[in-house]
Amino acid sequence: MPIDLSTGVLIDEKGAHRDSTAILRILPYLGLPYVVVGRVGLSVPRPIRDFAYRTFAKNRGKCWKFAKGTMGIEETYLEPYRDRIKGLKEPLDPSWGFRAKN
């Protein structure tokens, strides 16, 4: 498996998984309703899932901003955890939460 810090990777008892498969295989650990979402999602053909995953990943800042505005979610501040997150490249989109809390 190539080393690429721009994507999700999961190594479990069934091997190494990346992109949409990694994310969907993590969901059952979160309990209901995520177990169902993960199982249903895995039934979608991988090329379609991975296309959707990459499209979302390229636009995650815009998607998260829309979700926060729609659901009334408050800001997330990740600056205190910056040193624990691998693969960050500058410049970072401010909507990702890497700025000082006001």
* pLDDT value of position 80: 79
Q: CB of 1 within 8 A of CB of 9? A: yes
pTM: 0.59
* pLDDT value of position 2: 53
> Given pLDDT bands bounded at 50, 70 and 90, which one contains residue 85?
confident
pLDDT value at 5 more than 60:
no
Radius of gyration of the chain (CA): 15
